[in-house]
Amino acid sequence: MGFEPKKIKINGRLIPQLVQHLNINFKQAQKFVDRKRVYYRGEILSDKKAIINGEIEVIVFVARPSGNKPIFETKEFAVFDKPTHLAVHPKNLAPSVTLLDDVKFYLGANANLAHRIDKETSGLVLCGKTKQDEINLKKMFEDKQIQKYYIALIKGHLKDEVIINKPIITNKDMNIKVKVLIDNNGKQAITKITPLRIVGDNTLVLAQPLTGRQHQIRVHLHYIGHPIVGEPLYGVQEEIADKYLKGELSLDERMRYIGHHRLMLHAHKIEFTYKNIKYVLVSQKKIN
């Protein structure tokens, strides 16, 4: 599922033949070569000007849906309500089922994600139906024209609203590369946290990222001493976090060391205006 090999018999220049047989444009065909997804006689074919008379193997994306249909759509975009533990896109070329399978299956080959959320984060994901709509929506995210709101269950009691303004830098020196760090040399990151209600020893909060950094809400909440319930990376022993990332942490171990089967973070609401129409989209799921 996801990426699969496809054998094609071609006769002529590589790029035009890929365009013809895969029904793609020249730029997309060139990306197949750049991303090392074309093989000839068992070897990676990197020469875009190659003339081939024979059979090649191309690694293509084949949609294998998991049944997650869009909850809202227009002719330009659609919104999916992603469950926890489902990745939004394949990792490298490893076979897997991801949200992208559902996006391509239900919306067509040209549809694509306009942004990402973490595998364990549930909730709303916005997708463009065409390449141009994808580009437009991504630019809107970059320009902060799309507001996102998350629900999180955090450890401890938070009584007052807080705005966390701490720069974030990509982790390049430590063993766990996907983690980010709060560092004065990093990029500006601002998160608004509003407490909703106390839930036992925890607090349910509304989190609004005013910037769009990787793991922003997660690392900011950990920084103020209120990590998200079920957080498997921040505030966790490095060997446990490493084992989690490798997929080697059993459910029993996770419950013992982390305390919950998932990260209790949910993409609850998205607000934006697209082509002069205002949209307020709210998740149909509850965090649990």
pLDDT digits (tens, 9 = 90+) for 125-169: 999 999 999 999 999 999 999 999 999 999 999 999 999 999 999
- Give helix 14-22 / helix 26-34 axis angle, nearest 10°: 110
Q: Does the pLDDT at position 91 exceed 80? A: no
Q: Which residues are catalytic?
A: 118
What CATH code is assigned to 149-266? 3.30.2350.10
Write down the pTM of the prediction.
Answer: 0.84
Overall CATH class of domain 72-143: alpha beta
What CATH code is assigned to 2-62? 3.10.290.10
The full set of domain ranges for the chain reads 2-62, 72-143, 149-266
Residue 112 has a CB neighbour count (10 Å cut-off) of: 20
pLDDT digits (tens, 9 = 90+) for 192-232: 999 999 999 999 999 999 999 999 999 999 999 999 999 99
pLDDT at 69: 95
Nearest CA-CA partner of 284 in 267, 271, 272: 267
The b-or-e profile of 181-207 (16+ CB within 10 A means b, else e) is beeeeeeebbbbbebeeeeeebbbbbb
Domains 2-62 and 149-266 share a fold: no
Mean pLDDT of the chain: 92
